[in-house]
Structure 1
Amino acid sequence: MTNHTFGINSSEDKFRAVLEEYNEYLQDAANTRKALSLATNTWHILDWVFKEFPGVHGFTDPDHRKAFGQFRESLYPNCEALKLLHDIANGSKHMTLDTGREKSEISTTEEHKGTSDNTFDYTFDISRLEINMNDGSTLYFEDEIKKAITFFKGYFKGELGVTI
């Protein structure tokens, strides 16, 4: 196996890099480029964990893709934001998601350009990245990525014995 990761060699390294990226994103939370990169890198932590810890949670199907899918599905009930990250990461990679490949109920995403300074909260018209859901509700990328980061901190400590 060859390594093409510039010194990021473990899922712990990957998560630490994501945490750095997350902190940079928070300084400019309405930046689409930073959000898409962060969504993609956060989503791919699952690939790293599954590769580094084979059979994690007992998913050892000889069909690696099936086992990996089962692993991911087992985590969704603990962090619904992972479904959003799946769709955003894959949608940004492939431009669209094929029907039936979606994991979440995202209708559209959009960059909202606000009129108020971003030192205010969502009750003001601030710039933000919105995730519009099929049920008509709106989620904010900043909130959802925070849920995923919080989940992974607990997951690494509780399931993998790695304190970050």
Structure 2
Amino acid sequence: MIIGNATNHIQQFKELIKLHNHYESNDTSSQRALAFASAAWHLIEWVLKETNPKPSSKQLEEFRKTLYSKCPYLEMMHDITNTNKHRYLSNPKSNLSVVRKQGSIFTGAFSNAFGGDSLILEMENCVKMKFVDVANQILCFWLTYYREVLNIPDDKLTIKMDDYFI
């Protein structure tokens, strides 16, 4: 998945930041949440394929598992993204059971047909989380990963207002 004009994983990360900010400006927008979820999950492949240009499917799966262990919320982004794409999820990664807007339940793709104050992620164990909180945790994870694992300096991760458009 290519977002904007990204040609490398750093540009894709900057697009994720933009999508996060765009979502936060209207955190009841299921369309914006879905765009963020998809970009957050697909960034895994962007990073791996630039650090290992021809990864095997086993290497990709191992890399995903490594990142999932550091940020389990990425598993939720997998489930949300693939449910939206395929309607049904045959191989869930998380124990996410329902995505809900206030007063409404939907288990497939997000829809603008529902109104409410926030998007809620409900787990099989009945734990509930706001999508905005999960999105914040994912963005923090990726920022830390870029800084500490990939050793990318902050000036390379900064978005200039000139480049900011959504």
Q: Provide the TM-score with structure 2 as the length reference.
A: 0.79
Q: Which residue of 1 aligns with 2:107?
A: none
* 1:88 partner amino acid: I
Question: 1:1-150, aligned counterparts within 5 Å?
Answer: 7-54=5-52, 64-98=56-90, 101-112=91-102, 127-150=117-140
- In structure 2, stretches of 5+ residues that fail to align are 105-115, 158-166
- In structure 1, stretches of 5+ residues that fail to align are 115-125
Alignment length, in residue pairs?
A: 142
Q: Report sequence identity in percent.
A: 26
Over the residues paired in the alignment, what is the CA RMSD in angstroms?
A: 2.0
Instruction: Write out per-residue CA displacement over residues 47-92 of structure 1, whole angstroms, 9 at most, x where no aligned residue.
Output: 100110108xxxx8x7x11110000101112111111111111111
Instruction: Give, in whole Å, the separation in 1 of the partners of 2:3 and 2:79.
Output: 24
Q: Which has the higher contact order (CA 8 A, sep 6+)?
A: 2
1:129, CA displacement in angstroms? Answer: 0.5
* 1:94 partner amino acid: H
Question: What stretches of structure 1 move > 3 A for 4+ residues in a row?
Answer: 4-7
Is the partner of 1:84 in helix, strand or coil? helix
1:154, CA displacement in angstroms? Answer: 0.4
Q: Which residue of 1 aligns with 2:113?
A: none
Instruction: Give, in whole Å, the separation in 2 of the partners of 1:147 and 1:88.
Output: 16
Structure ID, larger Rg: 1
Instruction: Give, in whole Å, the separation in 2 of the partners of 1:79 and 1:26.
Output: 20
